[in-house]
Amino acid sequence: MSQNAWNFLFIGLSFAAYIFIAIRSRAGSTKEYYTAGGGVSPITNGMATAADWMSAATFISMAGSLSISGYDGSRFLMGWTGGFVLLTVLMVPFLRKFGKATVPDFVGDRYYSQTARLVAVVCAIFICLTYIMGQMRGVGIVFAQLFGIEIWLGVIIGAAIVFFYAGLGGMKGITYTQVAQYTVMAFAYTLPAIFIAMTLTGNIIPQLGFIGDYQGADGPVPFLEKLNNINTDLGFAKYTDGSLSTIDMFCITAALMCGTAGLPHVIVRFFTVKDVKAVRKSAYWTLSFIAVIYLTAPTVGSFARVNLIENLHDTSYAEAPQWMKDFESTGQLAWIDKNDDGKIQYFGKGKSESKKDDDVFIGKVPAFKGLGDSAERGSHGQRLVENEIVTNNPNELWFGADMMVMASPYMGNTPKWVIGLLMAGCIAAALSTAAGLLLVLSTAVSHDLMKKIIKPELSDKEEIKWARIASFGALVVGCFFAINPPSSFVAKTVAFAFGLAASSFFPTLLMGIFFKRINKHGGISGMICGISFTFLYITYFQFGLPGLGKGTEDQYLFGISPEGIGTIGMLLNFAVAFAVSHFTPPTPKDIRDLVDNIHDPRAALGQADTGPSHH
């Protein structure tokens, strides 16, 4: 069987299962649409939440980031894992006890204000839209590789599929579909890693191979030593050393952590179980299922790094493996023959004249001359680019971090069926999160904005209609930015969404749960200041602002990059909320009683929720 046949077999079977499950578990009421009826078992919800969490950023981009930046890439691992612990301990049991199915619902009631609800809706839309951009880019990359098409076309195909099944089943359909998707993802991520670990290290367990010996032609060498040596030989920093400043690394990790704990699409997942006891069990299962993939990511990234350099560096383009030309044809890899010797050279900043630059060309991504069969080719058959070429360093190879996971089994010469399974896993990862995000965004518009603020008499049927309209609008915006991405790889775009969540929802929810003195004035002011500061900072450095132009790295506040600025936005939110609350009237007695009730220890024993509820 050909590689394409294996790819379509696995993807076809998995899609058939997803669509069958979505149709079988269609939502029959708004309760089922938003919270799957509230009766999902902890282990099922744990698996579904893990699938929701395994976005394209995690599945495709995190290992790619670890592959390229080594230790620095661990900020994603630490931030996203630590954030789940924060979410489990500080947030979810109390929000579940409160009994509101959406974050704006909690904010509107706890801060006793429709304005607070509206600000929370706007924040939810901003966060989810930024996140959807990253997911749709991931979908586009996978479909582009699968069909041998350009990324923009892959984005549009993926968007049509996401819209179909996210709108079809609501939370009930998504929950059971995500269980199937997690199963596909777990096998798709770990099996290639096992095959490659056996080839490179002779070890069947990838994690042991990572800390074991590399089995090369010159005899066994500690794998991490081999990785450091090939990096430094080519002018890159040691794989196990970081190049980010300590404050930037800390702020990015903290923003990812606190952003995780404030992400509306993850919080809402815990409303699908029966009670608070089930919430805690569900969170335990989620972390266990996430660990399977997170503990494998560093091995996937490091194995891919070794294989890429061994496969491509100093190889003539004519003799380069076919997979390289396949990724080049879909725009995920480019080779510029700077010295016209026909050989691929891959070098780091250490080999450049300035010691600061290893760019192949100017721009985030290559702008190829011509598409498909009409693509312009160089003297060796390589695709030509329109970008201005950077000549002060010898590096000739550009590739996106997002391609590393997909290219890894090709580099490692794994069986064709393993590559087919990986492709199915990549698509499951991007679709599962995009569907969950669309549900939260559409809920924010239909339930929190239309029903709670604009038109309280809205019927169930009209509410779901508005939810589907909002989903479509979000996908259109998401697709535009997926085709014109704000950053060079998916995980970085997603990190901006976490920064926005960290600066808006995390402090507001935390203060709402634990501090009775924080009133509506403080809560609203803090949210607006936090998210506005973070959004403007990211926009200034990524796109530029009217009249100010685009910021440069030497202008970073305290040396903190846009990925980490959410931490400063979060501190600003806390400071403004406490200051404003101090100088304005205290919270009403019924709100103080409400906060006391959320902390009622009986809830932890799994007794029925006694807080307010719309069930």
Q: Classify residue 138: in a domain, yes or no.
A: yes
Number of domains in the chain: 2
Identify the band that residue 615 occupies on the pLDDT scale cut at 50, 70 and 90. Answer: very low
Q: Classify residue 405: in a domain, yes or no.
A: no
DSSP characters over 546-607? TTTB---GGG-GGG--TTTTHHHHHHHHHHHHHHHHHTSPPPPHHHHHHHHHHT-GGGGGTP
Same domain, 153 and 177: yes
Residue 137 structural domain: 3-304+415-484
Same domain, 216 and 342: no
Alpha-carbon distances, residue 288 vs 43, 46, 186, 283 (angstroms): 10, 8, 12, 9
Q: Classify residue 609: in a domain, yes or no.
A: no
Same domain, 29 and 164: yes
Same domain, 369 and 420: no
- CATH number of the domain encompassing residue 203: 1.10.4160.10
Same domain, 395 and 290: no
Same domain, 228 and 258: yes
Same domain, 154 and 78: yes
Proportion of the chain above pLDDT 90, given as a percent: 9
Same domain, 114 and 187: yes
Q: Classify residue 43: in a domain, yes or no.
A: yes
Least confident of 338-342, 407-411, 486-490, 597-601: 486-490
Q: What six digits make up the tokens of 183?
A: 């199963």
Same domain, 224 and 365: no
Identify the band that residue 568 occupies on the pLDDT scale cut at 50, 70 and 90. Answer: very high
Same domain, 390 and 246: no
Give tens-digit pLDDT for 56-81: 767 787 888 888 888 888 888 888 88
Same domain, 367 and 478: no
Q: Which of 443, 336, 331 is nearest to 390 (CA)?
A: 336
Its pTM surpasses 0.85: no
Whole-number pLDDT of residue 104: 83
Please give the sequence-ordered ranges of beta strands (E in DSSP) within 184-332, or none if there are none: 213-216, 219-222, 315-316
Please give the sequence-ordered ranges of beta strands (E in DSSP) within 129-240, or none if there are none: 213-216, 219-222
Answer whether residue 168 shows pLDDT above 60: no
Whole-number pLDDT of residue 30: 59
Whole-number pLDDT of residue 333: 87
Answer whether residue 613 shows pLDDT above 50: no
Q: Pick from 427, 461, 484: which residue ends a domain?
A: 484
Answer whether residue 171 shows pLDDT above 80: no
Q: What six digits make up the tokens of 154?
A: 């892959």
Same domain, 155 and 259: yes
Whole-number pLDDT of residue 167: 59
Cα 494 from Cα 371, distance rounded (Å):
28
Q: Pick from 462, 484, 506: which residue ends a domain?
A: 484
